[in-house]
Amino acid sequence: MDYTPQIRQIQSTSSTTTNLLQRYKLVACFGNRALLNFFLSGLTRPGQVAGAATTEEEGLALLKRHRPDFLVVTDQLEQGCGIRLVERTKAIQPEIRTLLLVGRLHQPAKLRAAVDAGCDGLCLESGMGLDAGTPALRAIRDGGTYIDRPLSELLRSRGAGQARGPVPVLSAREIDVLEMVLLGFQNSEIAARLFISSETVKSHLNNLRNKLGARDRTHAAVRALRLGLVDWPQEG
């Protein structure tokens, strides 16, 4: 494939990544050293990268030491597993925002495991320097969830068949709330956009957690997306 037409976009994305995360500290843990070098080269602010590693245990040690705001990790590591690293990290630092880069598309079981592990964003590795990287980082930075379109479609196409028991029925208002959670809106912002109270938003989210068997609002939104109960929302 001739990548020449993509050069300008890749350079622009690299600059945007630094600006998006300029107030945050992150750890990167990639199994592919060339991809790790490429990713780190786009983060130029001093202190922005707290650490980088290529194995699960090294990555976990860095996370415990530095307590960063973000973890960007690939599913395949030189040793260990990126999804397990996310799960272990969320257990000790639930508030950390995590982006998992997936190497191969046709692995729905792995995607479901990533959702259950608490990944806030899922992207194909091949899209990180192009279309997927910027909206993914922006969404999870703002407290939302991001699954790029190819992965979202795979989860939705396989989700209903993987559900245990009946698939829950969501109201139109519950779907509205979930779509706004996916876009990163906080409860007060959702309330203002839907012209309802924050208490009503909380009530909807409590009902959704119960219906979907989810740990929290983000997990509920991703489970609904996986089951095909909501579509990936369009910004704007």
Please report how the helices 172-182 and 187-194 are oriented relative to each other, as an axis angle in degrees rounded to 10: 130
Structural domain boundaries enclosing 185 = 168-226
Residue 67 has pLDDT above 90, yes or no: yes
Closest CA to 150 of 130, 119, 124: 124
Are residues 114 and 194 both part of a single domain?
A: no
Are residues 18 and 93 both part of a single domain?
A: yes
Average pLDDT over residues 100-114: 80
Domain count, the chain: 2
Q: Could you give the CA distance from residue 100 to residue 115 in angstroms, rounded to a whole number?
A: 10
Are residues 142 and 175 both part of a single domain?
A: no
Of 159, 176, 205, the one marking the end of a domain is 159
For residues 163 and 135, which has the higher predicted lDDT (pLDDT)? Answer: 135
115 confidence band (pLDDT: 50, 70, 90):
confident
Average pLDDT over residues 67-85: 92
Please report how the helices 7-20 and 133-141 are oriented relative to each other, as an axis angle in degrees rounded to 10: 10
In a domain, 236, yes or no: no
Burial class (CB within 10 angstroms; exposed 0-12, middle 13-18, buried 19+) of 77? buried
33 confidence band (pLDDT: 50, 70, 90):
very high
Are residues 198 and 137 both part of a single domain?
A: no
**What's residue 155's pLDDT?**
76
Lowest mean pLDDT segment, chosen from 45-49, 54-58, 111-115: 111-115
Are residues 21 and 68 both part of a single domain?
A: yes
Closest CA to 230 of 190, 174, 150, 161: 174
In a domain, 234, yes or no: no
Lowest mean pLDDT segment, chosen from 63-67, 125-129, 169-173: 125-129
Are residues 92 and 35 both part of a single domain?
A: yes
For residues 136 and 64, which has the higher predicted lDDT (pLDDT)? Answer: 64
Of 109, 126, 159, the one marking the end of a domain is 159
Are residues 173 and 143 both part of a single domain?
A: no
Phi, psi of 78 (to 5 degrees): -60, -35
**What's residue 235's pLDDT?**
58
In a domain, 145, yes or no: yes
Are residues 33 and 121 both part of a single domain?
A: yes
Residue 161 has pLDDT above 50, yes or no: no
**What's residue 227's pLDDT?**
80
**What's residue 85's pLDDT?**
94
Are residues 36 and 58 both part of a single domain?
A: yes
In a domain, 233, yes or no: no
90 confidence band (pLDDT: 50, 70, 90):
very high
In a domain, 235, yes or no: no
Are residues 120 and 31 both part of a single domain?
A: yes
Phi, psi of 98 (to 5 degrees): -125, 135
**What's residue 232's pLDDT?**
67
Residue 91 has pLDDT above 60, yes or no: yes
Q: CATH number for the domain including 71?
A: 3.40.50.2300
Of 111, 140, 159, the one marking the end of a domain is 159
Tell me if the pTM is above 0.75.
Answer: no
